[in-house]
Amino acid sequence: MAKINLLQAINGALDIAMADNDRTVCFGEDVGHFGGVFRATSGLQEKYGKARCFNSPLVEQGIIGFANGLAAQGSVAIAEIQFADYIFPAFDQIVNEAAKFRYRSGNQFNVGKLTIRSPYGGGIAGGLYHSQSPEAYFAHTPGLKVVIPRNPYQAKGLLLASIRDDNPVIFFEPKRLYRASVGEVPEEDYQLPLGKAEVIQTGTDITLLAWGAQMEIIEKAAQMVSNEGISCEVIDLRTILPWDIETISNSVMKTGRLLISQEAPLTAGFASEIAATIQSECFLHLESPIARVCGLDTPYPLALEKEYVSDHLKVYEAIIKTVNF
């Protein structure tokens, strides 16, 4: 099996999706001949033609509006928003249109064939407008699925599943991992399940939960505390909406403790939703308050990025505090 990076895995998934179905169309700002600012769509226009992979004008609400219509028509629409920080002009088309298309028509029409890809998250010295993690805004919208991969293998399988899922999916790609995360990825077509978290390390003392680029942070912290005899169960949530309550609560009923780490600001982040639900599902099993290790409630900083992020040391400290509560 070839070792490739997360970007190549995305590109490979798109290639398969386009070869697999000639009604699959990829578009967005600079995604055509140039192959996208990160090169995720590299080579697709050459291979599948300008009609199926093209540059859109610089208008996010237009990109998603167009994608909604295209998907409603029955084409497979894969729209790229160049940075998740720029998704907000399309908020209405996502939240009021894509998410409600099936419901409002009584299932006469739907945009299940829509997938929105967008690089998200920090760690690239991108400051406040190239670093945001806006998943919680979309997690508040019934009708959407929100998916975030942690490595190249996950990225390819989850993206193919997202493209083929019969619901509109927002697929956030941790841009810090685009080239940094390298791993073995099968060349062939495969899918990983949506709505299912994955236990990637079993343990007994505390459950550590994250998604995307935060996974390597919590894994590193788990390694650190294992030297001190603390056994962590590490879980990748993978799908933010609808999320896998069962896997998380089963784990917490076993360990009695939960720590959630996210890049996004603390207040009303998705970690808060998880904490509320697990508190209710596992109340009598909990031995300490659920810990949230998150960004500060500020815009994403530039010069002070290192201090801002929930890194492995902050997670380490929170594990110790939670276990010793």
Partner 1 sequence: MSTELYNEGQIVHQPTFIDGSSVEIPELRILDQDGVTYPNADLPEIDQVLATKIYQTLAFHRVLDERMVASQRQGRLSFYMAALGEEAASVGGAAALQPQDMIMMQYREQGALMFRGFSLENFMNQLFSNADDLGKGRQMPIHYGSKALNCMTVSSTLATQIPQATGYAYGQKLQGLDAVTLCYFGEGAASEGDFHAGLNMAAVQEAPVIFFCRNNGYAISTPADEQFRGNGIASRGVGYGIKTIRIDGNDILAVLKATQIARAYAVKESKPILIEAMSYRLGAHSTSDDPSGYRTKEEEAKWQSHDPILRMKNWMLKQKWWDEAQETVLFEKLREDVLAAVKVAEKIDKPHIDSMITDVYDIPPTQLKAQLAEVKAHIKKYPEAYPFTAGKF
Where do contacts with partner 1 occur on this chain (CB under 8 A)?
Answer: 23, 25, 51-52, 54, 56-57, 59, 61-62, 64-75, 77, 89, 92-93, 96-97, 100, 102-110, 112, 142-143, 145, 166-167, 195, 242, 245-246
CA–CA gap between residue 296 and residue 274 (Å, rounded):
18
To partner 1, the closest distance from the beta carbon of 240 in angstroms equals: 13
**DSSP character at residue 168:** -
Give the C-alpha separation, 38 to 30, whole Å: 10
Q: Which residue, 273 or 305, has its beta carbon nearer to partner 1?
A: 273
> CA 114, CA 119: separation in Å to the nearest integer?
17
Kindly tell me which of 22 and 287 has the beta carbon lying closer to partner 1: 22
In angstroms, the CA 58 to CA 61 distance is: 9
Distance CA 185, CA 288 (A): 39
What is the smallest separation between the CB atom of 193 and partner 1, expressed in angstroms? 13
Q: What is the DSSP letter of 299?
A: P
**Smallest gap, in angstroms, from Cβ of residue 218 to partner 1?**
24
Number of C-alpha atoms within 13 angstroms, CB side, residue 181?
A: 26
d(CA 142, CA 167): 11
Nearer to partner 1, 32 or 119 (CB): 32
CB distance 172 to 256 below 8 Å: no
Q: Catalytic positions, please? A: 60, 130
For the bound state, the minimum distance from the C-beta of residue 182 to partner 1, rounded and expressed in Å, comes to 33
Of the pair 110, 154, the CB lying nearest partner 1 is at 110
Q: What is the token pair recorded at 292?
A: 């949230």
